[in-house]
Amino acid sequence: MMKVSRLFLYCLFSLVAGLGAISVGRSDEGMWLLNDPPHALLKERHQFDLTQPWLDRAQASSVRFNSGGSGAFVSGRGLVITNHHVGADALAKLSTPSRDLLKDGFLAQRAEDELPCPDLELNVLVSIEDVTARIEEAVKAKTDAAGQNAARRSVMALIEKESLEKTGLRSDVVTLYHGGMYHLYRYRRYTEVKLAFAPESSVAGFGGDVDNFEYPRHGLDFCLFRVYDKGVPVVPGAFLRLHPPGPAEGDLVFVTGHPGSTQRLETVAKLEHRRDHLHPFTLSYLRMLEAALGQYAATSPDAARQASRELHSVANSRKALSGQYQGLLDAKLMSGKMEEEKRLQEAVTDATPWARLAAACQAHAQFQRDHALLERGFGFDSDLFGIARTIVRLSEESDKPDGDRLREYRDSNRKSLELSLYSPAPIHVPLEKVRLTATLTFLAEALGVKHPEVARLLAGRQPNRVASEVVDGSRLADVQERRRLVAGGRAAVASSTDSMIRLALLVDPAARAVRKKAEEEVEEPERQAMARVAQARFQLYGRSMAPDATFTLRLAFGVVKPYAENGQMVPVRTTVAGLFARHDLMGGSEPFHLPASWLKARDRISGDTPLNFISTADTIGGNSGSPVIDRQGRLIGVNFDRNRPGLVRNFVYTDVGARHVAVHAGAIALALRDIYGAKALLAEILD
Amino acid sequence: MMKVSRLFLYCLFSLVAGLGAISVGRSDEGMWLLNDPPHALLKERHQFDLTQPWLDRAQASSVRFNSGGSGAFVSGRGLVITNHHVGADALAKLSTPSRDLLKDGFLAQRAEDELPCPDLELNVLVSIEDVTARIEEAVKAKTDAAGQNAARRSVMALIEKESLEKTGLRSDVVTLYHGGMYHLYRYRRYTEVKLAFAPESSVAGFGGDVDNFEYPRHGLDFCLFRVYDKGVPVVPGAFLRLHPPGPAEGDLVFVTGHPGSTQRLETVAKLEHRRDHLHPFTLSYLRMLEAALGQYAATSPDAARQASRELHSVANSRKALSGQYQGLLDAKLMSGKMEEEKRLQEAVTDATPWARLAAACQAHAQFQRDHALLERGFGFDSDLFGIARTIVRLSEESDKPDGDRLREYRDSNRKSLELSLYSPAPIHVPLEKVRLTATLTFLAEALGVKHPEVARLLAGRQPNRVASEVVDGSRLADVQERRRLVAGGRAAVASSTDSMIRLALLVDPAARAVRKKAEEEVEEPERQAMARVAQARFQLYGRSMAPDATFTLRLAFGVVKPYAENGQMVPVRTTVAGLFARHDLMGGSEPFHLPASWLKARDRISGDTPLNFISTADTIGGNSGSPVIDRQGRLIGVNFDRNRPGLVRNFVYTDVGARHVAVHAGAIALALRDIYGAKALLAEILD
């Protein structure tokens, strides 16, 4: 699955950028900027004229799920299609012990039956503006990294605030080419979102962790939301009509969506840093969390319901990272990177940026565990802790000038932050204790009990006792209590006896210190060096390489194309008959057990209906739910995964075996019509 | 579950010993030596006269499962009872894709239906002899640790060989008090063992990983083997008769068995070494392996069957170690240890041994990862690799004088080694690849790709490619090929093109080097220092503390006693009705799904029949399958686990909440009679 999770984003967090697999014009590589699309490449490789109206329509139809995924408008009355696993966060939050929407699915036959989602924010891109010059101008005045970092943060916040006040649109400055370019993205922001349809998770995520990142694949991984504005369904600027015939083998297809992050332009030193430090550490963390969540989930059906979202997310990240790590161990991949780097260095005859980047990695290796555990939340995996930290920091940051704050507390981000902070989504107390016990224990394992912060935190107590005490002693499950504390500001926080607030206060000085260190000693030097590397690249290759992914809207294209594996060609699509065959072959055991709705319908639906298909288009985590569009701009599928050879695409694009996987439009039509009786919804989205 | 696994043994491997929780005469603590039993303590606390005939009978009835567990003779015709999870290794090896004995259970109604186990060795203790003086005499002549280590190894091998030649009995020199005492244990050795009865794993291991190390508990964790000698059922020196009424609350009970290892006498420095280095590293390893095995098991029912044994073993070790780690983080436990250590140091006014022990830990910390990964097999988890290494080393060691060899290749151990090496147990090729890929990857993560051994091993290839190549390129699944190589000696091994033999040869120099380092720089200095500490202890306390566990026969005793948890008393026994109730409550979902045999019998069996019970007796991993005996020497239960508070018993005995858990004799009788129709077997073992 390809949704961007918080963890996943961290795993891949890229501080800067550099070089990569130069395959200019030779492949379907590219997650292209909408304001710098590959006109010539498409014309040359696929004889396709990428017109502005086509692009405008794709942009206006494309939706970002702020929780970490993509989607598209599919009707003039605000219907949005995405993956089931992107919608799963909302489904889980709408579920109760007696209403398990993940397990049982959902259908609103009428608009009044739709379920309002507690904290879902969707974004639609309105415009892009280059603000590189203004930012570099502000930074130029400073002479040291700390000052430059502060100046950069400050001017970015200013630009965003000005834009928000002027346009009323969500305004984010995005760092491209790891520091080579800065663009201001403006979005229309939607928070009145209702659930319209979701299938059962057993068919949406058929094959579970076993089939995840594999192909052939059989998943009905889609669901439907409807977006409202002041109670009225939104009329989008454009939408895509479902085209059930889907693509033919060999067809050119497009994917628009929000790939989370890639590391193709990173230097060799940075990739080695990932291989030698970041990936092994993060993998050990993910395995620990997966074990803890899996054990809790096994204790009862309700525990399984509570844990399922995070468990899937962690397992997904673990599998993705494992594949990446295998890639980083591949001498061929690394020597390719080294050659490209050498070529670039020779062309610009200045090795200083690369030396600075290597030094930044070395610096980071010294405190990457502290950084991940104390500041990035590895050590405190708990919803209540996240809420407590946000309240603690919000109270402090709000007193500062906008430009001096930690970036996520800037005024222009306030509404999104509050949507999340005041979410009425349920807090599962036993699960909170399990997560916190597991991660506090890992904190002790990783830093050692003699580490001053660990010693202060545990104070000789066992992690399970600490976790129980802070969870039981917190009232932050109550949204009113959160509002009360925020309204009371620093004084209210300082005098709070809430045990989770106390914990967040206890660790905050050390967490802030290590963040400051990371920003000033690693991220800012990397950004500056990478800006130089990017200039060198532009000089040598022009704009023939798209920037690394940044969870902003990108256009990818590719061909529906089979590939060879173990001496056999793997076909471009799977079918509904194949889904039933796999259920039978696995004896209906988990995670291959089809729901009753499908088993009942088996004899009256067409087994030949295509279920999933593949193409060479360039996608990555975050592209989950991305529309797959044909030349005519019709919706022919919904992207939901890539296969195992595609896992190294973080570092290098390849079309040798690597494919993304999409739910076929025909399967969507069949499911809505013949399985779920959602005839009105189907009529609304049909071509 | 309490079986000693290879991993588990490593996790706990104790190089030396020292102090601990002094609770002399104040509790039911103690895993007592059969030749130094607690006569006075039993008399004083429980008014029980421990007679020599009682002891002799317990000893002659008790059986060690060399694969890592305990058991007891229960008939005059060689029937042995143990835990299902101790027998599971044999059950798995006897299973095929079409005959899953683990899942479906087994019953031989007649002797000729019993199934011969491929490589099961049982031992029955015959005699114990103190050989401390002879060993210390031999060591005394040497002046450096390397020489002393060699001399010690050599004289131990000599003593064992002499004994074997003189008596024909398996002869093992056992290190007690981590170096304070050496005893020669002589065993009768049985290798003609047949499976007579096993229930389905779903009722034997009811509750799976969720209920493991928990109480209340509902497991029918027993099975029956019959031991033969030259085709005739063995007539044991003694056996225990099943007494279905079992114990009453408050009764004194005994447990004889083979506890694997404890660390109660270790110094504070060593416990800190475990807390700061060994446990975190081993936990990260176990979680990795559990994730890999779990993912493989999910791919098909047959994969699940192949992986189930190791998966359970790894999950069990992970849960045990997690509990121990929580204990090591407990300041109260550690400060108790510090106080005891101080008392001992003051009494003997010589801190040198403790300083030497701390230095040995520091030395070990520098290369513990190399040691675990390269020598102890963490990096190469594969049956084929184990076979290859054994063949490689056997060919080299056999050319040396007996006393100079790596200890496991001594002549006196040759028969046991060959039983295992030439086992016809099936090798599962896909599982081999999964295990080796996972552990080679972990090797790279833990040591880094720049580590010379990792670089040589991988040579720029991805671990999954290396694993596939060496597994596919090996013919060691064929027992004849193993015999051929061993017969051909060094020349045959050197010229072998078998890829797994090549891999074992490739890593052997580094593995041997790190083992030598560990033996000479850590284990020997620890042994010597711990001998001094032990003398100090004897001087101060006499023999009032039993030595730490060593997988040799011990006697424990305790009382069937409830305990308080969350303000409620937890009863001493569970019932068959409780088993069905738990199945119902969990909706029959895994791992709480009862087999058809039980569901069918539900209405015609007595729900009041006790199923499991607890006592305060002192047990640890390795005690799985131990008989629980009453004052009259009757079999009232079969020990199979301890509860969560019991997990810290590695470091300190407590009866506050800590209990071992046993299958009640009444449940065994009910199951054989009313569920499985095994009337002849029941009649054979009944009181």
Task: Evaluate whether residue A599 is within a structural domain.
Answer: no
Bridge partners, residue B175, by sequence = B182
CATH assignment at residue B571: 2.40.10.120
Shared domain check, B445 and B418: yes
A195: which 2 tokens? 């659930």
B301: which 2 tokens? 């029912």
CA within 13 Å, CB half, A223: 33
Residue type present at position A234: V
Shared domain check, B565 and B468: no
- Quote the CA–CA distance of A403 and A147 in Å, as a whole number: 13
B397: which 2 tokens? 């060691």
- Quote the CA–CA distance of A161 and A589 in Å, as a whole number: 53
Residues of A in Cβ contact (< 8 Å) with B275: 449
Write the DSSP symbol of residue A64: E
Q: How far lies A42's CA from each of A38, A555, A623, B76, in Å?
A: 6, 12, 21, 85
In chain A, which stretches have pLDDT less than 50? 6-25
A111: which 2 tokens? 């608009």
Cβ of A97 under 8 Å from any chain B Cβ? no
Task: Evaluate whether residue B1 is within a structural domain.
Answer: no
> Do B586 and A291 make contact, defined as CB atoms within 8 angstroms?
no
Q: At A242, phi and psi to the nearest 5?
A: -70, 130
> Do A444 and B300 make contact, defined as CB atoms within 8 angstroms?
no
Query: pLDDT, tens digit, for every residue of A124-153?
Result: 999 999 999 999 999 999 999 999 999 999
Q: Is the pLDDT of residue B633 over 70?
A: yes
Least Cα separation, residue A675 to chain B (angstroms): 26
Query: pLDDT, tens digit, for every residue of B312-342?
Result: 999 999 999 999 999 999 999 999 999 999 9
Query: If pLDDT is split at 50, 70 and 90, which confidence band does B1 have?
Result: low
3-state SS class at B257? strand
- Quote the CA–CA distance of A632 and A266 in Å, as a whole number: 36
Measured between CB atoms, which of B298, B329, B448 is closest to A444?
Answer: B329
Least Cα separation, residue A213 to chain B (angstroms): 13
Q: At B34, phi and psi to the nearest 5?
A: -70, -20
ipTM: 0.90
**What pLDDT is recorded for position B26?**
63
Shared domain check, B276 and B245: no
- Quote the CA–CA distance of A462 and A442 in Å, as a whole number: 12
- Quote the CA–CA distance of B428 and B306 in Å, as a whole number: 7
- Quote the CA–CA distance of B406 and B390 in Å, as a whole number: 11
Q: Is the pLDDT of residue B426 over 80?
A: yes
**Surface-to-core class of residue B513, CB atoms within 10 Å of its CB (0-12 exposed, 13-18 middle, 19+ buried):** middle
Residue type present at position A318: R
The domain in which residue B618 lies consists of: 6-263+543-685
Alpha helices in B141-226 (DSSP H): 145-167, 201-204, 208-211
Least Cα separation, residue A383 to chain B (angstroms): 23
Task: Evaluate whether residue B321 is within a structural domain.
Answer: yes
Helix-, strand-, coil-residue percentages of chain B, each rounded to 5: 50, 15, 30
- Quote the CA–CA distance of A536 and A341 in Å, as a whole number: 11
Q: Which residue of chain B is at minimal alpha-carbon distance from A455?
A: B329
Q: How far lies A318's CA from each of A1, A213, B675, in Å?
A: 11, 11, 44
Q: Is the pLDDT of residue B65 over 80?
A: yes
Best probe of the A interface among B314, B369, B462, by most A CBs < 10 A, is: B462
CA within 13 Å, CB half, B14: 28
Instruction: Give, for B665, the enclosing helix (H) or strand (E).
Output: helix B665-670
- Quote the CA–CA distance of A637 and A640 in Å, as a whole number: 9
Shared domain check, B516 and B428: yes
**What pLDDT is recorded for position A11?**
38
Q: At A420, phi and psi to the nearest 5?
A: -75, -45
Task: Evaluate whether residue B343 is within a structural domain.
Answer: yes
Which residues have CB under 8 Å from A171's CB, separation 6+? A159, A160, A161, A163, A164, A184, A185, A186, A187, A412
Q: Which residue of chain B is at minimal alpha-carbon distance from A273?
A: B448
Cβ of B362 under 8 Å from any chain A Cβ? no
With CA atoms as reference, report the closest residue to A395 among A499, A515, A470, A504: A504
Single residue among B503, B523, B540 that ends a domain in this structure = B540
Q: Is the pLDDT of residue B675 over 60?
A: yes
Binding-face residues of B in 460-489 toward A, CB within 8 A: 460-464
Residues of B in Cβ contact (< 8 Å) with A445: 279-280, 283-284, 325
Percent of chain B with pLDDT over 70: 96
Domain total of chain B: 2
Instruction: Give, for B605, the enclosing helix (H) or strand (E).
Output: none
- Quote the CA–CA distance of A665 and A616 in Å, as a whole number: 18
Cβ of A604 under 8 Å from any chain B Cβ? no
Cβ of B305 under 8 Å from any chain A Cβ? no
- Quote the CA–CA distance of A508 and A504 in Å, as a whole number: 6
Task: Evaluate whether residue A456 is within a structural domain.
Answer: yes
Task: Evaluate whether residue A38 is within a structural domain.
Answer: no
Cβ of A209 under 8 Å from any chain B Cβ? yes
- Quote the CA–CA distance of A329 and B459 in Å, as a whole number: 10
Shared domain check, B626 and B512: no
> Do B322 and A441 make contact, defined as CB atoms within 8 angstroms?
yes
B218: which 2 tokens? 């509902």
Least Cα separation, residue A129 to chain B (angstroms): 42
Shared domain check, B502 and B354: yes
- Quote the CA–CA distance of A238 and A226 in Å, as a whole number: 15
Q: What is the DSSP string of A99-154?
A: B-HHHH-EE-SSGGG-EE-SS--EEEEEEEEE-HHHHHHHHHT--SHHHHHHHHHH
> Do B288 and A283 make contact, defined as CB atoms within 8 angstroms?
yes
- Quote the CA–CA distance of A242 and A89 in Å, as a whole number: 25
Q: Which residue of chain A is at minimal alpha-carbon distance from B210?
A: A299
Number of C-beta neighbours around residue B585 at 10 A? 11
Cβ of A566 under 8 Å from any chain B Cβ? no
Rg (CA), chain B: 24
- Quote the CA–CA distance of B617 and B557 in Å, as a whole number: 5
> Do A449 and B275 make contact, defined as CB atoms within 8 angstroms?
yes
Q: Exposed e or buried b for every residue in A5-38, given b needs 16+ CB within 10 A?
A: bbbbbbbbebbbbbbbbbbeeebbbbbbbbebbb
> Do A298 and B210 make contact, defined as CB atoms within 8 angstroms?
yes
- Quote the CA–CA distance of A167 and B161 in Å, as a whole number: 90
Query: What pTM was estimated for this model as a whole?
Result: 0.92
Shared domain check, B134 and B34: yes
> Do A329 and B210 make contact, defined as CB atoms within 8 angstroms?
no
B100: which 2 tokens? 């899953």
> Do B276 and A450 make contact, defined as CB atoms within 8 angstroms?
yes
Measured between CB atoms, which of B284, B326, B458 is closest to A329?
Answer: B458
Shared domain check, B515 and B562: no
Query: pLDDT, tens digit, for every residue of B135-193?
Result: 999 999 999 999 999 999 999 999 999 999 999 999 999 999 999 999 999 999 999 99
Shared domain check, B460 and B526: yes
Shared domain check, B527 and B636: no
Single residue among B540, B575, B599 that ends a domain in this structure = B540
Shared domain check, B447 and B595: no
Task: Evaluate whether residue A354 is within a structural domain.
Answer: yes
- Quote the CA–CA distance of B298 and A207 in Å, as a whole number: 9
Task: Evaluate whether residue A657 is within a structural domain.
Answer: no
Bridge partners, residue A612, by sequence = A663
Rg (CA), chain A: 24
Contact B402, B410 (CB under 8 A): yes
Where does A141-251 show beta strands of DSSP type E? 170-176, 181-190, 192-198, 223-229, 232-233
Query: pLDDT, tens digit, for every residue of B74-111?
Result: 999 999 999 999 999 999 999 999 999 999 999 999 99
CA dihedral A377, A383, A385, A387 (to 10 degrees): 110
Q: At B119, phi and psi to the nearest 5?
A: -150, 35
Single residue among B540, B571, B595 that ends a domain in this structure = B540
B131: which 2 tokens? 């050989």
3-state SS class at B315? helix
Query: If pLDDT is split at 50, 70 and 90, which confidence band does B15 have?
Result: very low
**What pLDDT is recorded for position A1?**
61
Shared domain check, B258 and B280: no
Residue type present at position A255: V
3-state SS class at A543? coil
> Do A279 and B332 make contact, defined as CB atoms within 8 angstroms?
no
**What pLDDT is recorded for position B2?**
57
Alpha helices in B275-382 (DSSP H): 279-297, 301-328, 331-348, 352-370
